[in-house]
């Protein structure tokens, strides 16, 4: 390309002149993570943090040592869902993740701020750098599965995560609207460009079950999950209902009490995803 800077670390293109250099960042010495799953979408407000939290809940219930890296630096919500107000600590160049009462290891910008409602008013490069530092500078202890809650879009932070963290795969979150479907396809295509497998598709707010008659109502339109998964060859699909009970549990910091059965097939794909090789620091 005529405007190529030959700095592949800032570019997502798979052009023929791309340098055969890995930009993967190492874990902190002594840290260990066996599998990394990014939860992504091309659009905000579709429920990525909720899906991330529920997948982590299911992983812990199945006996996996589980962690969440909250890469949504300017809009972190995972600590609240798990009911923790603990702050991360550190010394001599290492950060220790927060541990919830259920044993989840968690690193989020809200575990570093003095107040939960303090804004992070940073430019994109600083935000992206912080997300990567949550990988490189945190002493993740013997983690079986790490879920990475991604911010929306395909900009600085997603690109930095895709290039800097060895991903086992991604889960894409969508809702039934046509507009959302179009934007989500951008995230799927970005994953393909970065050679990261898309393991599953979660259609959030897919339907509402009337508590009176038990009938399903597709409030946002007919489901497009199966068609979208078939179009892109995504192996696992989940349809999550609109469930006020789950929202109440998340608001109350009791997400570990939520039902995760809707994510059964997608979590199976997570279990079957490859482990990342060479990322136990010696």
Q: How many Å separate Cα 88 from the centre of its chain? A: 20
Find, among 148, 125, 124, 145, the residue nearest to 135 by Cα: 148
Dihedral (C-alpha) 7, 13, 16, 17: value to the nearest 10 degrees? Answer: -10
Edge-to-edge strands, sheet with 105-107: 98-99, 105-107, 66-70, 145-149, 36-40, 169-174, 198-203, 236-239
Long-range contacts of 81-86 (CB under 8 A, 24+ apart): 81/49, 81/50, 81/53, 81/250, 81/253, 81/255, 82/53, 82/106, 82/253, 82/255, 82/256, 83/252, 83/253, 83/254, 83/255, 84/111, 84/253, 85/116, 86/111
* DSSP designation for 239: E
Q: If you classify domain 24-272 with CATH, what class do you get?
A: alpha beta
Q: Model-level pTM?
A: 0.89
pLDDT on residue 6: 36
Spell out the domain ranges in the chain: 24-272
pLDDT in tens, the chain (282 residues): 445 433 444 455 555 434 444 789 999 999 999 999 999 988 888 999 999 999 999 999 999 999 999 999 998 999 999 999 999 999 988 999 999 999 999 999 999 998 888 988 888 889 999 999 999 999 999 999 999 999 887 788 989 999 999 999 999 999 998 777 787 788 888 999 999 999 999 999 999 999 989 999 999 999 989 998 999 999 999 999 999 999 999 999 999 999 999 999 999 999 999 998 545 554
User: Which residues are within 8 A (CB) of 119 and not within 5 positions of it... i.e. 6 or more apart?
Assistant: 74
What single string gives the DSSP state of each residue in 148-175? EEPPSSSSHHHHHHHHHS--SEEEEEE-
Q: Spell out the residues 6+ positions from residue 58 whose beta carbon is closer than 8 angstroms to its own.
A: 260, 263, 264, 267
CA 271 to chain centre: 15
Residue 148 CB contacts under 8 Å (≥ 6 apart), including other chains:
36, 37, 38, 39, 52, 68, 69, 71, 161, 165, 167
DSSP-assigned states of every residue in 76-102: --HHHHTT-----EEETTEEEPEE-TT
Distance (Å, whole) CA 11 – CA 14: 9
């Amino acid at each position: 390309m005529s405007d190529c800077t030959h700095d592949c670390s800032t570019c997502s293109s798979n052009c023929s002149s791309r340098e055969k250099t890995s930009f993967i960042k190492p874990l902190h010495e002594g840290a260990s993570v066996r599998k990394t799953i990014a939860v992504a979408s091309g659009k905000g407000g579709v429920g990525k943090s909720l899906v991330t939290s529920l997948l982590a809940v299911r992983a812990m219930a199945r006996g996996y040592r589980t962690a969440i890296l909250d890469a949504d630096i300017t809009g972190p919500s995972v600590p609240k869902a798990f009911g923790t107000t603990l702050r991360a600590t550190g010394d001599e160049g290492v950060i220790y993740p927060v541990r919830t009462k259920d044993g989840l290891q968690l690193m989020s910008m809200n575990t570093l701020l003095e107040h939960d409602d303090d804004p992070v008013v940073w430019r994109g490069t600083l935000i992206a750098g912080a997300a990567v530092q949550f990988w490189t500078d945190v002493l993740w202890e013997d983690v079986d599965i790490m879920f990475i809650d991604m911010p929306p879009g395909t900009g600085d932070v997603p690109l930095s995560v895709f290039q800097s963290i060895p991903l086992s795969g991604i889960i894409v979150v969508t809702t039934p609207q046509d507009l959302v479907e179009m934007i989500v396809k951008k995230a799927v295509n970005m994953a393909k460009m970065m050679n990261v497998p898309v393991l599953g598709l979660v259609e959030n707010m897919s339907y509402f079950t009337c508590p009176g008659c038990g009938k399903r109502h597709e409030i946002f339109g007919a489901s497009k999950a199966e068609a979208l998964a078939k179009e892109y060859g995504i192996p696992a699909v989940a349809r999550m209902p609109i469930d006020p009970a789950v929202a109440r549990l998340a608001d109350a910091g009791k997400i570990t009490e939520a039902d995760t059965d809707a994510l059964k097939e997608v979590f199976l794909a997570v279990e079957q995803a490859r482990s990342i090789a060479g990322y136990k620091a010696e």
